[in-house]
């Protein structure tokens, strides 16, 4: 699965992470540093498994929950229609 931002969603870096702005409805979502890193990996074409492995390397404290966390982030972003999967 490959993820891409929905056409009307923009990303802006902020202190401690990123903000996603859905221009269709004006809603914004803030991702912390780990969420932002995960999103960048997924948008760069990493699979769920590869993104989780990379997170564990960069954030060792995430080892036990990395795959579930990545899966949950993808689900949340898809439910909010911020990303599109192909």
Greater model confidence, 41 or 61: 41
Statement: the pTM of the whole predicted model exceeds 0.85: yes
C-alpha gyration radius of the chain? 12
Beta bridge partners of 27: 22
Q: 28: which DSSP letter? A: E
To 5 degrees, how large is the angle CA 86–CA 45–CA 73?
75
Confidence of residue 59 (pLDDT cuts 50, 70, 90): confident
CA distances (Å), origin 20, targets 24, 26, 42, 64: 12, 10, 15, 27
pLDDT of residue 1: 80
Quote the tokens at residue 31: 């991702």
């Amino acid at each position: 699965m490959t993820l891409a931002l929905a056409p009307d969603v923009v990303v802006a870096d902020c202190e401690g992470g990123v903000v996603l702005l859905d221009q269709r409805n004006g809603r914004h979502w803030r991702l912390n540093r780990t969420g932002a890193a995960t999103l960048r990996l997924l948008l760069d074409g990493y699979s769920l498994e590869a993104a989780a492995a990379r997170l564990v390397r960069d954030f060792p404290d995430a080892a036990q929950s990395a795959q579930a966390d990545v899966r949950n982030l993808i689900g949340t972003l898809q439910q909010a229609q911020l990303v599109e999967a192909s």
